[in-house]
């Protein structure tokens, strides 16, 4: 029998790791997402697990396996769903029935305030979802929407082939929650209700996570606005022949280094923003919205309020890439100019060295000529002393002997110095 790949079953199980909840109508849901402010993708996940166990222990619920990334349990009157994501963890509590007071902050106490205060991170998203049966008289729905939400930002639509009406104004209430209402048509299955509620919570969470990129984009834009004139000035200086290329190159390298540091600092956030934006749009699309009562849909709300923020993030990212590219191209031009200037300086230095070598050679020849004369003078004197007795025997005068010796000695010395110079070369 053939063996299975060691990852076969874990990868298949991952497809079924996060099932949708089954929710009854009427009901309510409380949802919280917690994220560490900095470096959340490298956080200590053991702290997330410890925080979950503290909540489970309050209700005597079973613990998840050590390496679990999701868990379900019963806590009091609510069903708990916990999920660990790349940058955040989420807690969803689903309860049966609804209170007389819509979106009562007391519903959120399923997550005790002291337990929330000890969370290893900060709250990035929080939702209260009210699930009601869809009444036959839609005027009651209209009255509820007018009473619960801000009309100017209200998004409302039929979803999933008019199986339900969803509504929300994306406003944070005084208790810190985003509120959504779901009106379910009778006969809609519990899992379909669960999918609708979970999609709403995911839309809000991924929207909040993607909007983190907007803050980074604004911070980055402010810095790029300061660097842009400086970079433009350096590029303009390239056309000035009198500019100091090496000093300009040093300044340009400093700007390039800062741009690279900015890119390194913001790359992950901008990449995550693109991914979260895609998830938001995908979650809205799968709801299959149709217009209710002429009101704006969730997709239209995102197009008008959310998409401009995402375009701002993408614009800042492109601008950073373009400025980094400009700095690289300007640096290459400056390096070329510096190399040309250095080549010209080296050429002048070589010409100067050639002139000095020529002068040295001439001086050497002069010294060699003087050396022949000096050596010949002493050689003639010595030879004269040695040959003087012989010259007297032949009745030669000293001056005649010297005259005879001079050409012979000079030629001998010149020939000897020439051989020495050839041997050295």
Q: 200 vs 375, which has greater pLDDT? A: 200
- Residue 321 has phi, psi (to 5 degrees) of -60, -40
Integer-rounded Cα radius of gyration of the chain: 45
How far, in Å, CA of 375 to CA of 368, rounded? 10
- Nearest in space to 130 (alpha carbons), one of 180, 96, 165: 180
- Of all residues in the chain, the percent with pLDDT exceeding 90 is 60
The predicted model gives 210-220 an average pLDDT of 94
- The domain limits of the chain are 20-198, 211-348, 351-424
Is residue 316 within 8 Å of 221, Cβ to Cβ? yes
The predicted model gives 42-50 an average pLDDT of 94
Give the DSSP letter of residue 107. Answer: G
Is residue 234 within 8 Å of 253, Cβ to Cβ? no
The residue count for the chain: 425
Residue 389 has what pLDDT?
72
Residue 356 has what pLDDT?
82
| Structure token pair of residue 319 | 């601008």
Residue 352 has what pLDDT?
79
Q: How does pLDDT run across 242-261, given as a tens digit for each residue? A: 556 667 777 888 888 899 99
How far, in Å, CA of 111 to CA of 93, rounded? 8
Q: 65 vs 385, which has greater pLDDT? A: 65
Question: What pTM was computed for the model?
Answer: 0.78
Helices and strands in the chain, H and E counts? 9, 9
Q: Of 24-28, 121-125, 163-167, 344-348, give the lowest mean pLDDT range.
A: 344-348
Query: Exposed e or buried b for every residue in 265-290, given b needs 16+ CB within 10 A?
Result: ebeebbebbeebbebbbebbeebebe
pLDDT band at residue 357, thresholds of 50, 70 and 90? Answer: confident
pLDDT band at residue 395, thresholds of 50, 70 and 90? Answer: low
Residue 224 has what pLDDT?
93
Is residue 112 within 8 Å of 39, Cβ to Cβ? no
Give the DSSP letter of residue 120. Answer: S
How far, in Å, CA of 404 to CA of 415, rounded? 18
pLDDT band at residue 411, thresholds of 50, 70 and 90? Answer: confident
Q: How does pLDDT run across 360-378, given as a tens digit for each residue? A: 777 766 666 666 666 666 6
Query: Is the predicted pLDDT of residue 340 greater than 90, yes or no?
Result: no
How far, in Å, CA of 14 to CA of 16, rounded? 5
Give the DSSP letter of residue 105. Answer: G
- Of all residues in the chain, the percent with pLDDT exceeding 70 is 83
The predicted model gives 26-42 an average pLDDT of 95
CA distances from 383 to 30, 389, 407, 408, 417 (A): 124, 11, 12, 11, 19
Q: Of 26-40, 115-129, 326-340, give the lowest mean pLDDT range.
A: 326-340
As a whole number, the mean pLDDT across the chain is: 87
Query: Is the predicted pLDDT of residue 307 greater than 70, yes or no?
Result: yes
Strands 78-84 and 155-159 come out as unpaired
Query: Which pairs with CB-CB distance under 8 Å and at least 24 residues apart come from 384-392?
Result: none
The predicted model gives 214-243 an average pLDDT of 82
Q: How far apart are the first and last CA of the chain?
A: 85
Q: How does pLDDT run across 308-320, given as a tens digit for each residue? A: 999 999 999 999 9
Residue 82 has what pLDDT?
96
Query: Is the predicted pLDDT of residue 386 greater than 90, yes or no?
Result: no
Q: How does pLDDT run across 72-107, given as a tens digit for each residue? A: 999 999 999 999 999 999 999 999 999 899 999 999
The predicted model gives 44-58 an average pLDDT of 95
Strands 122-133 and 178-184 come out as parallel
Hey, how many other C-beta atoms are within 10 angstroms of the C-beta on 298? 25
Query: Is the predicted pLDDT of residue 219 greater than 70, yes or no?
Result: yes
Is residue 148 within 8 Å of 181, Cβ to Cβ? yes
């Amino acid at each position: 029998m053939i063996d299975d790949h060691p990852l076969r079953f874990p990868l298949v199980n991952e497809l079924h790791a996060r099932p949708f909840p089954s929710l009854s109508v009427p009901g309510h849901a409380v949802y919280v997402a917690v994220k560490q402010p900095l470096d959340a993708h490298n956080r200590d996940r053991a702290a997330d697990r410890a925080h979950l166990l503290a909540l489970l222990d309050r209700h005597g619920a079973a613990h998840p396996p050590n390496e679990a990334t999701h868990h379900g349990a019963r806590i009091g009157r609510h069903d708990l769903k916990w999920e660990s994501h790349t940058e955040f963890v989420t807690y969803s509590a689903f309860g049966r029935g609804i209170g007389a007071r819509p979106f009562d902050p007391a519903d959120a106490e399923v997550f005790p305030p002291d337990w929330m205060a000890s969370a290893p991170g900060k709250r990035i998203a929080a939702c209260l979802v009210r699930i009601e049966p869809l009444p036959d008289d839609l005027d009651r729905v209209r009255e509820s929407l007018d009473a619960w939400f801000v009309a100017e930002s209200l998004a409302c639509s039929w979803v999933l082939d008019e199986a339900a009406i969803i509504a929300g104004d994306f406003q944070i209430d005084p208790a810190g929650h985003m509120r959504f209402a779901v009106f379910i048509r009778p006969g809609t299955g519990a899992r379909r209700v669960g999918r609708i509620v979970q999609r709403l919570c995911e839309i809000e969470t991924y929207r909040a996570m993607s909007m983190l990129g907007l803050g980074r984009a604004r911070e980055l834009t402010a810095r790029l606005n300061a660097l842009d004139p400086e970079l433009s000035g350096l590029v303009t200086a390239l056309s000035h022949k009198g500019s100091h290329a090496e000093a300009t190159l040093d300044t340009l390298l400093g700007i390039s280094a800062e741009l690279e540091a900015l890119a390194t600092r913001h790359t992950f956030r901008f990449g995550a923003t693109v991914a979260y934006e895609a998830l938001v749009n995908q979650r809205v699309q799968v709801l299959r919205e149709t217009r209710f009562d002429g009101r704006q849909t969730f997709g239209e709300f995102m197009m008008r309020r959310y998409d401009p923020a995402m375009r701002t993030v993408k614009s800042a990212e492109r601008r950073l890439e373009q400025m980094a590219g400009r700095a690289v191209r300007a640096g290459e031009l400056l390096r070329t100019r510096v190399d040309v200037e250095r080549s010209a300086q080296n050429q002048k230095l070589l010409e100067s060295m050639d002139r000095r070598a020529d002068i040295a050679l001439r001086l050497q020849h002069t010294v060699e000529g003087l050396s022949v004369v000096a050596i010949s003078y002493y050689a003639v004197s010595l030879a004269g002393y040695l040959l003087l007795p012989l010259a007297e025997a032949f009745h030669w005068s000293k001056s005649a002997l010297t005259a005879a010796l001079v050409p012979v000695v000079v030629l001998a010395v010149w020939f000897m110095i020439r051989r020495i110079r050839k041997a050295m070369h």
